[in-house]
Structure 1
Amino acid sequence: MRRSRIFLLLGVIVLIPTILFFWLDQQPKAKNQDTNFAVVNQLHDLIAKESVYDVTSEKLVEGALRGMAKAIDDPYSTYYSQQEAALHKQTLASERIGIGVELSQKDGKFVVISPVKTSPADKAGIRPLDEIVQINDTRLEGKSLGDVMQLMQGKEGEEVTLVVFRPSLERHVKINVKRAKLKNETVHSEVINVEDTPIGYVTVTLFGEETGVEWQRELNSLFEKNVEALIIDVRDNPGGYLHSVAQIISTFERQEKIFAYMQKSDGKTEPLKTKYVEEFSPFIEKLKNIPITIIQNEGSASASEVFAGALQDWKRATVIGVTSFGKGTVQKSWELKNGGELKLSTNKWLTPTQRWIHHKGIEPDIEVKQHPLYGIETKLLKGRFETGEFSEEIAYSQSVLAELGYAMVRKDGFFDMETAQAVSNFRKRYDLQEGRHMDEQFFAKLTEQLQAYKASQINDMQLQMAISYVMHQLQM
């Protein structure tokens, strides 16, 4: 008994210095943290008491919270106020009112990742990499992402005017967009018949709350029509929920299979695997036996890159188009005590072969650039212009006419004799009132021809390559 007490006493004696060491080791860290927060409180009190400007405590706290998120220097890590958090959640909800655009913020700039396909922004001609600099009469310098989202919100049917800087044109463009109810139907399908061969064509515009269910519905519809190949279009898909990607990609595999890795800051990786669901069984068998292609572009980002990267690494699909956006991080959101929300990049994601595509993108297996007309936005133009004048409307028309095949050298907005001849030829071709001037009748017909060109699948070079590829695979 005495020996046990001695051993116990020795254990306590050994334990006390150990605890004391760790306690002392933690003191500087705790002290530094307390000092840091003391400075924050000091700054808050000084501004509230001494500033010549009237500023509320709530506004100071909001500024501090934004500053902490901004200090990470990551455009995808963001603090949202309570109102902004509500607006952000609408983005991937089943229904909302807005214009349909995915934005990122970096160095005070608000850059379009992608317009949601078939949304008002998409129809109005907003393009990936457009930098939004003004909304209606409000310049965006010094604004937060939440401020920008609020400015875009409004009543259904109301028009919002955006001024964007378009890098490809190296100039500013004004675009009018009408707000609409966005139902977020994220999966659409149709059958394209080529030489009596039915090909399934599925467009996934966003990985939202119901995308997995919609995918199953559309696949079922296509297989009832006995499609022999599948083309999956994720062009201008800005991403969304990772669990939606998991649902869709699980329809390709019966066994659990790694479709991505999550990598933490310490370098440790965790595999993400497909999950077998009995109701997916018919899809799995059919998808194994048909050629599959994925079409992507520079607006395909985040979750759509996870999807394309997995099927590419598995060699289950051929990727066609151009290099994707290149967003290789995953964000997690936390609700805060003030009703706000923190969206924070917590992991890198890697493809099944452990590629990190951040700022690189998914490179296509077959590169196909789209016709330049697809990069020209649809604009509502007004006014009358003649030889010798200079304007943005003239520059726009020169670009469209040139891509439609009219002889055109100048695209700088100066109305020269060559432009006048091209305008005259265009007016004659479409039975407009004769003349060598641009007017609203001319602009309306020019817009109609641009829209008709882009609406025709025959002119979609990336889609046509996908069709040719799967037809070739079927004939092998």
Structure 2
Amino acid sequence: MKLNQTKIILILIGALLIGVLGGYGGVKLAQNQGDNSAIEMSDSDNGTLSNSGEESGGELSGDLDKVSQIFELIQSNYIEDVDDNELVEGAIEGMLSTLDDPHTSYLDSEMMEQFNEQIESSFEGIGAEVSEVDGYITIMSPMKESPAEKAGLRPNDQVLSVDGESLEGLNVNEAVAKIRGEKGTDVVLEIQRSGTSDPFEVTIERDTIPVETVYSEVDSEGGNDTGVIQITNFSEHTGEEFEEQLTELENQGIDGLVIDVRGNPGGLLDVAEEILQQFVPSDMPYLQIEDADGNAEEYVSDLDEQKDYPISVLIDEGSASASEIIAVAMKELDYDIVGETSFGKGSVQQAIPLGDDSSVKMTTFRWLSPNGNSIDGEGVEPTIEQRQDDYYYATPIQVTDDEPLTVDHTSEAIANMQEMLSGLEYDTGRTDGYFSEETESAVEAFQEDNDLEVTGEVDEETGGLIETQVVEKIREGEDDRQLERSLEELYQ
């Protein structure tokens, strides 16, 4: 199938953005012209989609007859009233679930409406993207300045329940429906974080999430003027925003460039292409797309030569899909990639309309690096590995006023509290989870500095304020070891 003839315009990590791009679950490839027949991929080289009601053989016809027979049996004999549309949608979801692909799903008309609205607008929700990973609804990335980020959610956090209702057995679409909601309303998520034995609850107030995806600045530390461009999502206007801001930085005479796609879950394939076409010269492809038969098509820019300044790319475990397309292409162009191994999403989904405002989001292609490598399930490994300080990864402090954290006790909650206080530059003496006298002194100093009752114990108020200050420090980019390392290595 030739992708230059049937243009894929979206690629993402097979997830739904909650409140940022809720319903953003697939790739719009072609429009069905209003009929309700099934859409199937043509085997011809012209890559068109065809509408066909013809069966490929007697066996398929018999199987479909069985489905029709069950439908009629339910209509005629089931003791309760059943909505015919719900039966049809249930059958579709059942077929897709047998593929055992978390990135393939059915999008009803409501989800598709959200999908079409949210590519270019602002949304109400918590501002995080989720996917199904190993059977769990999992946070892929909280968005910049979103309620999810402010609440301290991190990539790979597993969402166990929403407002006390378990998500076990629900697909991504059903989970998203529970988490989404109106601005100003609260949602309580039960989170399981890697490295901790006990889950914890996070209460998040939903808000309006604007789609602002490109941020830039000039860093002049170390004697060099380095342009830093952060891309938080690959949305409709990201490409032109990136080009405008890059041009502005170049007009200021930058000595080098850092492209930051940490926490970026992906988005529009067109945008990733637009960005790479500004960096990858025509003597190598910037991307390859592989079909089900293993045939790969190369995509090449018309750029004559590389930029005349050094470039590095920042990635982390929340960088996925289109972010990884950028990262691996720049890596194979011999630029440094700094940070931590990315998520590992190398497949492409298409949202294929069914003619009634609903669609099937289905995995139909793989994307490959310029050299023909797949990162699916593995991620992009950095050329320069760099973790953040430990407090960046700390779990929220679980504590009640009835059972505060006190001297001579040991727990994971105390270890997390010690990591956070250390990150706020209070000397706890240790971070192993034992509440020592030095830790007590650190708590007392924090309480005194913040006009709290000085008890040396960590209750809900003290624990909550510690968390708030840590999240604010992270959001402000303090102690950003990955960016610091990128700037250090850029001119080596």
Report the Cα distance in structure 1 between the residues aligned to 2:323 and 2:116, rounded to whole angstroms: 19
Match of 2:364 in 1: 346
Deviation at 1:93, TM superposition (A): 3.0
Deviation at 1:183, TM superposition (A): 1.7
* Residue 55 (str. 1) matches residue 82 (str. 2): yes
1:205 equivalent in structure 2: 232
Deviation at 1:341, TM superposition (A): 1.3
1:84 aligns with 2:111: yes
2:219 equivalent in structure 1: 192
Matched, 1:177 2:204: yes
Q: In structure 2, which of residues 108, 122, 141 is the aligned counterpart of residue 95 of structure 1?
A: 122
* Matched residue, 1:374: 392
Paired residues of 1:75 and 1:106 also in contact (CA < 8 A)? yes
Number of equivalenced pairs:
435
1:4 match: none
Which deviates more, 334-343 or 394-403? 394-403
Q: 1:229 to 1:409 in 2, by over 3 A?
A: closer
2:379 maps to which of 361, 372, 381: 361
Q: Is the 8 A contact 1:132 1:163 kept in 2?
A: yes
SS class of match (1:171): coil
One-letter amino acid matched to 2:110: Q
Per-residue CA deviations over 1:416-446 (Å, capped at 9, x if unaligned) read 7675454335435666443222245523542
CA pair 152-307 structure 1, distance change in 2 beyond 3 A: same
1:459 to 451, 475, 479: 479
Structure 1 position 99, deviation (Å): 1.6
Q: Which residue of 1 aligns with 2:447?
A: 427
Matched, 1:273 2:300: yes
For 1:215 and 1:378, locate their aligned partners in 2 and report how far apart those are by CA, in whole Å: 35
1:69-89 Cα distance to aligned partner (Å, 9 max, x none): 111111111111111222344
For the pair 1:236 / 2:258, whether they are aligned, the reply is: no
Instruction: Look up the equivalent residue of 2:209 and give its one-letter code.
Output: L
TM-score computed with the length of structure 1 as normaliser:
0.83
Displacement of 1:138 in angstroms is: 2.7
Distance 1:90 1:148 in 2: 20
**Contact 2:213–2:235 (Cα < 8 Å) also in 1:** yes
- Pair 1:68 & 2:95 matched: yes
SS at 1:466 equivalent: helix
Report if the CA contact (8 A) 1:382-1:443 is conserved: no
| Residue from 277, 299, 302 that aligns with 2:318 | 299
Counterpart AA for 1:190: E
CA positional deviation for 1:259 = 0.8
Distance in 2 (CA, whole Å) between partners of 1:125 and 1:49 is: 52
SS of alignment partner, residue 262 of structure 1: strand
Q: Distance in 2 between matches of 1:107 and 1:441?
A: 36
Deviation at 1:168, TM superposition (A): 2.6
Among 417, 430, 436, the alignment partner of 1:397 is: 417
Per mean C-alpha deviation after superposition, the further-off stretch among 461-470 and 51-60 is: 51-60
Name the residue aligned to 2:488. Answer: 468
3-state SS in 2 of match to 1:114: strand
Distance (whole Å) between structure 1 residues aligned to residue 158 and residue 116 of structure 2: 23
- Structure 2: give runs of 5+ residues left out of the alignment: 1-53
- Compare 167-176 and 86-95 and name the one that shifted more: 86-95
3-state SS of the aligned residue for 1:252? coil
In 2, Cα distance between equivalents of 1:341 and 1:348: 20
- Please name the residue that 1:406 is paired with: 428
What is the letter of the counterpart of residue 457 of structure 2?
A: H
Q: 1:41 aligns with which of 68, 76, 100?
A: 68
Deviation at residue 137 of structure 1 after TM alignment: 3.4
Deviations 1:212-257 (A, max 9, x none): 0110121122123221110110001101111110111111256474
Identity, % of aligned positions: 31
Residue equivalent to 2:150: 123
Q: Secondary structure at the match of 1:195?
A: helix
Structure 2 counterpart of 1:308, which letter? Answer: A
CA, structure 1 residues 171+441, in 2 after alignment: closer, same or farther (shift >3 Å)?
closer
Verify the 8 A CA contact 1:84 1:149 in the aligned structure 2: no
User: Which has the larger helix fraction?
Assistant: 1
Matches within 5 A, 1:9-24: none
Q: Cα 1:374–1:107, aligned 2, differ >3 Å: closer, same or farther?
A: closer
Question: Paired residue for 1:246?
Answer: 273
Listed one character per residue, the Cα deviations across residues 370-413 of structure 1 (whole Å, up to 9, x for unaligned) are 212112366797636264889986564244236554124553xx
Task: Report Cα offsets for 1:337-378 as digits up to 9, x if no partner.
Answer: 332111111111110111111111111111111212112366
Contact 2:125 2:181 in 1 (8 A): yes
Partner of 2:328, secondary structure, is helix
Distance 1:353 1:245, change over 3 A: same
Mapped contact 2:257–2:312 kept (Cα < 8 A): yes
Question: Are residue 289 (structure 1) and residue 308 (structure 2) matched?
Answer: yes
Is there any run of 5+ residues in structure 1 with no aligned partner, and where? 1-26, 277-283
Partner of residue 27, structure 2: none
User: Could you list the per-position Cα deviations for residues 233-286 of structure 1 after superposition, in whole angstroms to 9, with x for gaps in the alignment?
Assistant: 00011011111101111112564741111111111111122256xxxxxxx87x
Which residue in the other structure is 1:227 paired with?
254
Q: 1:398 and 1:50, CA in 2 relative to 1: closer, same or farther beyond 3 A? A: farther
Deviation at 1:147, TM superposition (A): 2.1
1:151 aligns with 2:202: no
Code of the residue aligned with 1:400 in structure 2: it is M
**Structure 2 letter corresponding to 1:423:** V
User: Which residue of structure 2 lines up, in the alignment, with residue 18 of structure 1?
Assistant: none
- For the 8 Å contact 2:428–2:439, the answer to whether it is kept is no
Q: TM-score, normalised by structure 2?
A: 0.80
SS in 1 for 2:490: helix
Q: Is the contact between residue 211 and residue 244 of structure 1 (CA under 8 Å) also seen in structure 2?
A: yes
Q: Is the contact made by 1:295 and 1:466 (CA closer than 8 Å) also made in structure 2?
A: yes
Q: Distance in 2 between matches of 1:319 and 1:269?
A: 25
Tell me by how many angstroms 1:469 deviates: 0.9
1:46-81 deviation line (CA, Å, top 9, x unaligned): 233333444322221111111111111111111111
Q: CA deviation at 1:447?
A: 3.0
Q: What RMSD over aligned residues (CA atoms) do the two structures have, in Å?
A: 2.9
User: What is the rounded CA distance, in whole Å, between the counterparts of 2:197 and 2:116 in structure 1?
Assistant: 33
8 Å Cα contact 1:205-1:234 kept in structure 2: yes
